[in-house]
Amino acid sequence: MSEIQSKPKPKKPRGVARLLEGKCIACGARCQSSCPVNCIEMTDSGEPIIETGKCIGCQKCVKICPSTAIEMFFTAEEQQILAELATSAVPVEEEIDPEAAAIAKTLAEYRGVWVFVEQTEGEPAKVSWELLGAGAGLASSLGVELCALVIGENVEHLCREAFEHGAAKAYLLDAAVYKHYRTEAYVEACCHLIEKYKPEVILMGATGMGRDLAGAIATRVATGLTADCTGLAIDDKRNLMQTRPAFGGNIMATIMCDKYRPQMSTVRPNVMPMPERHEGAEGTIIRDTFVVPEESVLTKVIEIIRDSHSKGAVDITGAEFIISGGRGMMAPENFAILQELADELGGVVGASRSAVDAGWMAGDRQVGQTGKTVRPKIYIACGISGAIQHLVGMQDSDMVIAINRDSGAPIFEVATYGIVGDLFQVVPAITKKIREMKQKA
């Protein structure tokens, strides 16, 4: 009886990394940070020392080096195998990068898009529903369920509201310990659910609560977090592309967290459009009984004192008409003409940062990157140049009317209607016209 032995497929040698003398420009240890097996040490002069015995030949340092200072080194024997493989008809067994394989395996365990439903004493924050709208698109691209994460006491009604705003499932933790938001309790609760159900995307409002909670969770579960996103999309590798202003708003950066899960983002209120509400829509509630022991929570809520300043404060984010003034208003008393127009329209007065910094308007009126993001039906910008930091806070308004005496002002680039002229003539004229129209009606 003869035995047929199949010849093992030849393996392609991977080689080891080697530094080319005199080529390193000491770029800041990019090679070191790219190495998955920590086999690169840096000298005091910023050049790498590669421990070849540990090198697995992944070529990451070669690819990342900006000055092609690292090459792959093959022994004479390995070079001979490479030469034979190049001429051989036998298929080469491709070696799988062990690090990439391990990452892919971990990432595959995470599925689903979650939206944290922020609530205070059972009242939901509007941004949660906006995020469900944004999450629906992500879930559809990923082919997964859109889920709500509801934590509080007596908050089951929020699961139903979440279904009406597009969620298919709601994870519910309902217990007395979650009555008031406390970082420790909520972080424990969220991390418990994340570890148990492994979502691949978590969205939270960039509110005081959301910012606090998201940062603490990301640290605990050792993943990435992108704050204040203005755009969210999915790439062809299931990565969340998180777009946000960077470098003071002068560029838009798209950030990805491709090696860790869940991918976490916060989004400011009014950035994403409110989805249509489907009354009576149903979904599945997953009740989890995990309760953080009260004695383990160091923060105690003794009394809730309402902010007395908030009495006179105006929430410009909910307004349908905003008339904003900038440095072109020249003086605080001149904002009275904007208030008159706002009164006629039933709107509120907003401001650019310059006007706020000058002390002409209160900080809660500021629109923009470091102020509020607004999405009114009509935004009237008066004497505002249209710096990018202002535009990111208002450019998604349904209609933008810009009044500026400089026809080259950037605000006209986002304006639906532009009026080139002196605001001190244009604004009172508009107010007068509206009054006349109202009287005739």
CA distance 157 to 163: 10
Asked whether the beta carbons of 356 and 388 are under 8 A apart, the reply is: no
Asked whether the beta carbons of 115 and 132 are under 8 A apart, the reply is: yes
Contacts of residue 143, Cβ cutoff 8 Å, sequence gap at least 6: none
Q: Which of ligand FAD, ligand SF4, none has residue 55 at its interface (CB below 5 to 8 Å by kind)?
A: ligand SF4
Q: Which of ligand FAD, ligand SF4, none has residue 405 at its interface (CB below 5 to 8 Å by kind)?
A: ligand FAD
Question: How many residues belong to the site for ligand SF4 (CB under 6 A)?
Answer: 30
Is 353 near ligand FAD (CB under 6 A)?
yes
CA separation, residue 124 to residues 128, 150, 152, 217 (Å): 7, 10, 11, 21
Nearer to ligand FAD, 124 or 371 (CB): 371
CA distance 434 to 429: 9
Nearer to ligand SF4, 54 or 196 (CB): 54
Question: How many residues belong to the site for ligand FAD (CB under 6 A)?
Answer: 29
Q: Which of ligand FAD, ligand SF4, none has residue 318 at its interface (CB below 5 to 8 Å by kind)?
A: none
Only one residue has tokens 């209120």, namely 269
CA distance 197 to 180: 24
CA distance 188 to 440: 61
Q: Among candidates 320, 369, 364, which has minimal Cα distance to 345?
A: 320
Nearer to ligand FAD, 152 or 325 (CB): 325
Interface mask toward ligand FAD for 195-234; x: CB under 6 A: ----------------------------------------
Position 353: which residue type? R
Residues in 60-79 that interact with ligand SF4 by CB under 6 A: 60-61, 64-67, 69-70
In the list 354, 373, 397, 431, the residue contacting ligand FAD (rule: CB under 6 A) is 354
**Rg of the Cα atoms in the chain:** 29
Is 369 near ligand FAD (CB under 6 A)?
yes
Is 383 near ligand FAD (CB under 6 A)?
yes
Contacts of residue 426, Cβ cutoff 8 Å, sequence gap at least 6: 382, 403, 419
Nearer to ligand SF4, 38 or 250 (CB): 38
Residues in 33-52 that interact with ligand SF4 by CB under 6 A: 34-35, 37, 39-40, 46-48, 50
CA angle (262 as vertex; 163, 158 as ends), nearest 5 = 20
Is 418 near ligand FAD (CB under 6 A)?
no
Count CB atoms within 10 A of the CB of residue 327. 16
Residues interacting with ligand SF4, by CB under 6 A? Answer: 17, 24-27, 29-31, 34-35, 37, 39-40, 46-48, 50, 55-61, 64-67, 69-70
Residues interacting with ligand FAD, by CB under 6 A? Answer: 248, 326-328, 352-355, 366-371, 383-385, 387, 389-390, 393, 403-406, 409, 422-424
